Amino acid sequence: MTTPLTELVSICTDSFRPSENSARKVSLFSFAAFDGAKCPEETAEREIKSNKTRIQNGDVLFAKLNPRIPRVWPIHDLEDSATAVCSTEFVVLRPQNRAEVDSDYLSYMLGAPQFLTPIQRLVSSSTKSHQRVKPAQITEGSIPKRPLKEQ
C-alpha cells in the first residue's frame, strides 16, 4: 500500500535573501556540493549572489532540475544556530510528522526507480540539459508507508 506524498510532506518555500555586507557563515547545499562530496559548502553570506531556500534538519531536498540525474539529499547534523540554505532548483520536502516518516527512509524511497521513473516522464523543457519537474508533480507521487520502526 502506498501513501501520497501530500499526506507525508509539505513543500517548504522559506526564502533566504542574502545580504551583500554580511560575513556570517552559511551552509550552502548546492548541486555542485551534492555532485562533489555530498557535503554543503561553508561560505560567507555576501558570497551568495541569488535567493535561496532555508532548510532545517529532517528536510529532504529533491532536485527539480534534470530529474534524470537523481539528486535526493536528506538533511542532518545542522547546528541549531546555523543558517542553512539550498539552491532554488531543489524542492524542500519537510515531513509533516516526524513520528511517522524518517527523512532517510523518505530520501531512499524518493530515489527509488518506482518513484523516479514516473517523475522523469513529467519533465518540461525544450532542451535535455534544462528539464524541470514542477514541485506539485513531485508531491503527486506516492511511496510505501511503513511503521517508523521499519523505516
pLDDT of the residue at 145: 87
pLDDT of the residue at 39: 94
Look up the domain containing 144 and give its range.
2-150
Question: Residue 86's domain is classified under what CATH number?
Answer: 3.90.220.20
pTM over 0.85: yes
pLDDT in tens, 114-141: 999 999 888 877 677 788 999 999 999 9
Alpha helices in the chain, H assignment, sequence order: 31-35, 103-110, 113-120, 135-139
Alpha-carbon distance of 85 to 106, in angstroms, equals: 20
pLDDT of the residue at 126: 66
pLDDT in tens, 19-42: 888 889 999 999 999 999 999 999
pLDDT of the residue at 20: 84
Per the structure, the count of domains in the chain is 1
Alpha-carbon distance of 4 to 10, in angstroms, equals: 11
